[in-house]
Amino acid sequence: MAKRVGSLPSLDVVFGETKAAVERQSEEISSLDMKLGVLLGLAGIILAALLGFLFNPQCGDLATKGFITLAVVLVLASLICAALGYRTRKYEIAPAPKELRKFYLMEDLKKTKLVLLDTLVKVYYRNKKRIETKVRYTNISFIFVFSGALMIGVTLLYSLFRLLCYN
């Protein structure tokens, strides 16, 4: 292996690019967590308002309560999806410095860099699957919260229409 390691002229370039890709994944994970946090907060606020309307005795007719109930279900689904996406938190990280020192401090530079490269590649592909799951939950949560907000709009328009027609 020492001969093979010594004849890798592009090792520094490949290592640098792989390390940068893993760092970009960390930024993407942070961004997705922030979006999911916003979705959780928004859905929670919408849900509290909807439940306040739903249990209000002057809420309106059965159709209005039906629209609000549907919006509540959609927002609850959004909360569940956002929570599942946010829960996806187990990511791979680069080797700990203590482990590197313990096993590779006295090894050849290129051999150590190759081992680190292989580890970073594994980290990248394991994290990629988790990021895809987090993106899927984020998108589903957004669709549900958007649908719930749309139902609120429909409910308001329906209530306004009823008010204008019966007065």
Distance CA 111, CA 63 (A): 70
**pLDDT at 137 (0 to 100):** 92
Q: Does 72 map to a domain?
A: yes
**pLDDT at 3 (0 to 100):** 44
Q: Does 1 map to a domain?
A: no
Structural domain of 67:
26-93+129-166
> Exposed/middle/buried for 15, CB within 10 Å: 0-12, 13-18, 19+?
middle
Concatenate the DSSP letters of all residues of 20-76 into one string.
Answer: HHHHHHHHHHHHHHHHHHHHHHHHHHHHHHHHHHHT-TTS-SHHHHHHHHHHHHHHH
Token code pair at residue 124:
């990248």
Q: Does 107 map to a domain?
A: no
Q: Does 82 map to a domain?
A: yes
What string of pLDDT tens digits covers the 167 residues of the chain? 444 655 677 888 888 888 889 899 989 988 998 998 888 888 888 888 888 777 777 667 787 788 888 888 989 999 899 888 888 677 777 777 777 776 666 777 788 888 888 888 998 998 898 899 999 999 999 999 888 888 888 888 888 888 788 76
Q: Does 118 map to a domain?
A: no
Residue 147 carries which side chain, given as an amino acid letter? S
Do 35 and 131 form a contact (C-beta atoms < 8 A)?
no
Q: Does 147 map to a domain?
A: yes
Do 33 and 84 form a contact (C-beta atoms < 8 A)?
no
Numbers of helices and strands, H then E, in the chain: 5, 0
**Total domain count, the chain:** 1
Query: How many CA atoms lie within 13 Å of 100's alpha carbon, on the beta-carbon side?
Result: 14
Q: Does 104 map to a domain?
A: no
Q: Does 40 map to a domain?
A: yes
